[in-house]
Amino acid sequence: MEKNTERNIRLVALDLDDTTLGAGGVLSDETRRALEEADRAGIRIVVASGRAFAALPEAVMSLPFIEYAIASNGANTYEAKTGKRVMEKFLDKEAALHILDIAREEGLLVEGFIDGIPYSQRDYMEDTDRLNRTGRNAAYVQSTRKPVEDIFDFLSRADRLDSVNLLVEDPERKPAVRRRVEEEVKDIYLTTSADVLLETAHKDAGKGSALRELAGMLGVPREQIAAFGNAENDIDMIRFAGTGVAVANAAEIVRDAADEVTESNVEDGVARWLFRYLEKL
């Protein structure tokens, strides 16, 4: 379908990390003000994140006009204020066990999201130097994950997994691990949002799929949606929206997929785009 060039934005879908949030994962005053003005203009604001629901930042989720949150790369969609799931997809049990087996054989750690809560290996979480060395935000990991002693055993016994993330700490190994998962585990959604992560979920997950379902529920046509992102896991959402916007710091494949590129996240690119749009109303 061709995208509508006459914009009448009624819904904005926001990736958070390295898109809407600035340095250190902070929601700037400028971005907050832009979102408030968008709300006053009648635009609905939806969070669309790879994070588990319980790990979504309070600074964003406490905004009174945030109604819905797409979490875990589209595996779940929640009412923001009640935490009620309005849409859910769970990773196939057999696929999840196969992913865990691959991780064991490759000597990788994993994380898992269950009922919107992220779980990780205790000794990994507590190793701040290791987290920082591999480019993860140690404070974020340690404040959002629930620690377990044996993550493989814990996840293998879970009945309903939102997602399983493989931690590939050596970037040179990531392409080979990804190929193995793609070749051996069929009918899953596989993406990445950070150098160290390979993220898996139900085959029908993805931010784009979840946004399509939510927009249908809300009665908002895709032509009246703007979606913002920076990473591979944002591409399907950017392509679905009538106006797909990449921030300047986005990966090249994301910028190529977008209709427009705004300023970087540290330059409040989302806010600047919204202000420019609102000025034309």
Ordered DSSP codes for the chain: -PPPSS----EEEE-IIIIIS-GGG---HHHHHHHHHHHHTT-EEEEE-SS-GGGS-HHHHTSTTEEEEEEGGGTEEEETTT--EEEE--B-HHHHHHHHHHHHHHT-EEEEEETTEEEEEHHHHT-HHHHHHTT--HHHHHHHPEEES-HHHHHHT-S-BSEEEEE--SGGGHHHHHHHHHHHS-SEEEE-SSTTEEEEEETT-SHHHHHHHHHHHHT--GGGEEEEE-SGGGHHHHHHSSEEEEETTS-HHHHHH-SEEE--GGGTHHHHHHHHHHHT-
Task: Characterize 234-272 residue by residue with b for buried, 16 or more Cβ atoms within 10 angstroms of its Cβ, and e for exposed.
Answer: bbbbbebbbbbbbbebbbeebbebbbebbebbbbbbbbb
Given a cut of 50, is residue 52 above it in pLDDT? yes
**Whole-number Å distance between alpha carbons of 159 and 156:** 8
- CA dist 238 and 254 (Å) reads 8
Is the same domain home to 98 and 197?
yes
Same domain, 195 and 229: no
Confidence grade of residue 6 (pLDDT, cut at 50, 70, 90): low
| CATH number for 151 | 3.30.1240.10
Residue 4 belongs to some domain of the structure: no
Q: What is the pLDDT of residue 235?
A: 98
Which position has the higher pLDDT, 24 or 29? 29
Residue 7 has what pLDDT? Answer: 78
- Same-domain check for residues 49 and 20: yes
Query: For residue 153, is it within any domain?
Result: yes
Residue 73 lies in a domain: yes
Q: How many domains does the chain have?
A: 2
Residue 1 lies in a domain: no
Q: Which domain holds residue 129?
A: 93-202
Residue 245 in any domain: the answer is: yes
Statement to judge: residues 174 and 239 lie in one domain: no
210 within domain boundaries: yes
pLDDT digits (tens, 9 = 90+) for 115-152: 999 999 999 999 999 999 999 999 999 999 999 999 99
Question: Is the residue at 28 inside a domain?
Answer: yes
Same-domain pairing of 81 and 20: yes
CATH code (residue 56): 3.40.50.1000
Q: Pick the last residue of a domain from 202, 217, 245.
A: 202
- The candidate with the shortest Cα–Cα distance to 13, out of 256, 264, 209, 268, is 209
Q: 232 and 175, same structural domain?
A: no
Reply yes or no on whether the pLDDT at 263 is more than 80: yes
